[in-house]
Amino acid sequence: MKVVVGHLYPDYLNIYADRGNMAVLAARAAWRGIELEVRGIGLGDRLVPGEHDLLYIGGGQDREQALIAPDFAGRATALEEALLGGAAALAVCGGYQLFGRYYRDRGGVELPGAGFFDLHTVAGERRMIGDVLLSCSLEPGVERTLAGFENHAGRTILGPSAEPLGRVVAGFGNDGESGYEGCRRGRALGTYLHGPLLPRNPWLADWLLAQALAHSTGGEPPELEPLPDDLEAAAHEVSAERAHERGGRFD
């Protein structure tokens, strides 16, 4: 079995070691004998709907976001076709913001987004920084936690058709007020959680792999054989504990 991942703007959006999410997906695929190929998609490169089983975009400062936003917004149609065609996606922080309609930065400049998520983001005066813990349900009746680290000025406002990724247990989340974090549309997930996210949330890495395999095979997401995730579980607990102790402080 093979999974092809399209990594959007890897040279620009890679703050807080978000690239580590790619390493986790590659390792968890390899441990199961699944081939995983990562193809970078940079400025001006073509995004061919159907070519990738999963699309990934990391986080970045306002400056880096401004450098790629027009190029990314110009791919809105191709991105929508790829995702409505069943590809999975993970968009983190700055990349998550640009999956929405726009991000208005600290200088009041409005960066265009791809508009796949029904949301918009406006930078506030104080950054929302700290450990964060969420409660998520990606499958009916299955509630799990996600732990990570957030650092953003952006306040993300979900529109009427947007589904949050999860409920904030500790930390700020999308805007520090709504009690929700992230966004989900089908197999596409957006979140503020850095860390990187996937090493301490192995269930989510496997969920994304299974969705990507479903796109690759044209079938249903497979049940992946469990891996010995003791270390990952311990990292999750440390992160969750920190979120309870010191999640969410304005800076």
Q: Is residue 60 at the binding interface for ligand GLN, with CB under 6 A as the rule?
A: yes
Buried b (16+ CB within 10 A) or exposed e, 218-241: eeebeebeeeeeeebeebbeebbe
Q: Is residue 175 at the binding interface for ligand GLN, with CB under 6 A as the rule?
A: no
Minimum distance from residue 39 beta carbon to ligand GLN (Å): 22
Among 3, 5, 8, 15, indicate the residue that binds ligand GLN (CB under 6 A): 15
> Any catalytic annotation for residue 136?
no
- Pick the catalytic residue from 93, 183, 215, 236: 93
- The DSSP result for 13-35, as a single string, is S-GGGTTHHHHHHHHHHHTTT-E
**Considering beta carbons, is residue 165 or 212 the nearer one to ligand GLN?**
165
**Considering beta carbons, is residue 148 or 199 the nearer one to ligand GLN?**
148
Q: Is residue 100 at the binding interface for ligand GLN, with CB under 6 A as the rule?
A: no
Q: What is the three-state SS of 155-202?
A: EEEECCCCECCEEEEECCCCCCCCCEECEEECCEEEECCECCCHHHCH
By CB under 6 A, the residues from 117 to 136 that bind ligand GLN are: 123
Structure tokens at 165: 């990724």
Q: Is residue 154 at the binding interface for ligand GLN, with CB under 6 A as the rule?
A: yes
Which of the residues are catalytic?
93, 194
